[in-house]
């Protein structure tokens, strides 16, 4: 799914090119679609932990295989992609 995002106007998605090294391809799915998909690995969950706007039906787009069954689904792309590893403040408090 992330491969669809990369060349499109959705700049900044898929920064690591689908190798489980970022969370910029974070997508939010309908509950029904989410339930259809396979189990989430620890590795994917570790990166989802850092995704902006994490929901109960979030997945990393690069880990979702598109198939005929998924034709017609709606995928929501969150507004920001700010990884939780960024901090609000600018470095150490003085």
Partner 1 sequence: YASSHCIYFSGARGLGTSPAASCPKVCIVGGGPAGFYTAQHLVKTRPDVQVDIYERLPVPFGLVRFGVAPDHPEVKNVMNTFTQTAQHARCSFHGNVSVGKDVTVQELQEAYHAVVLSYGAEGNRTLGVPGEDLAGVHSAKDFVGWYNGLPTNRDLRPDLRCETAVILGQGNVALDVARILLSPVDILKNTDITQPALDTLAESSVRRVLIVGRRGPLQLACTIKELREMVNLPGTRPEMEASDFECIAKMLKVLPRPRKRLTELLLKVAVETPEETELERRNSAKRAWGFRFFRSPVEILPSDDLTRAAGIRLAVNRLEGEGEDVWAVTTGEVEDVECGLVISSIGYKSLPIDPAVPFDPRKHIIPNTMGRVQKCAAGLYCSGWVKRGPTGVIATTMNDSFDTARTLLHDMDEGTLDISTVKPGSAGVTTILEKRGVKPVLFSDWEKIDSEESKRGEARGKPREKLLDVGEMLKVAWT
Q: Which residues bind partner 1 (CB under 8 A)?
A: 11-12, 15-17, 19-24, 42-43, 45-47, 49-50, 54, 80-87, 89-92, 94
Comparing CB distances to partner 1, the nearer of 24 and 29 is: 24
**36 CB-side CA count, 13 A:** 14
Provide the minimum distance between the beta carbon of 41 and partner 1 in the complex, in angstroms, as a whole number: 11
Q: Which is nearer to partner 1, 4 or 50 (CB)?
A: 50
Element containing residue 58 per DSSP (H, E): strand 58-60
- Looking at residue 82, what DSSP letter applies? -
Give the nearer residue to partner 1 in terms of CB position, either 15 or 73. Answer: 15
| DSSP H or E segment with residue 5 | helix 2-5
């Amino acid at each position: 799914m992330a491969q669809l995002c990369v060349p499109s106007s959705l700049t900044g998605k898929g920064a690591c090119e689908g190798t489980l090294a970022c969370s910029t391809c974070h997508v939010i799915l309908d509950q029904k679609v989410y339930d259809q998909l396979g189990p989430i690995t620890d590795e994917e969950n570790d990166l989802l932990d850092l995704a902006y706007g994490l929901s109960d039906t979030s997945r990393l787009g690069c880990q979702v295989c598109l198939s005929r069954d998924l034709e017609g689904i709606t995928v929501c792309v969150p507004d920001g992609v700010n990884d939780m590893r960024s901090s609000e403040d600018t470095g150490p408090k003085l």
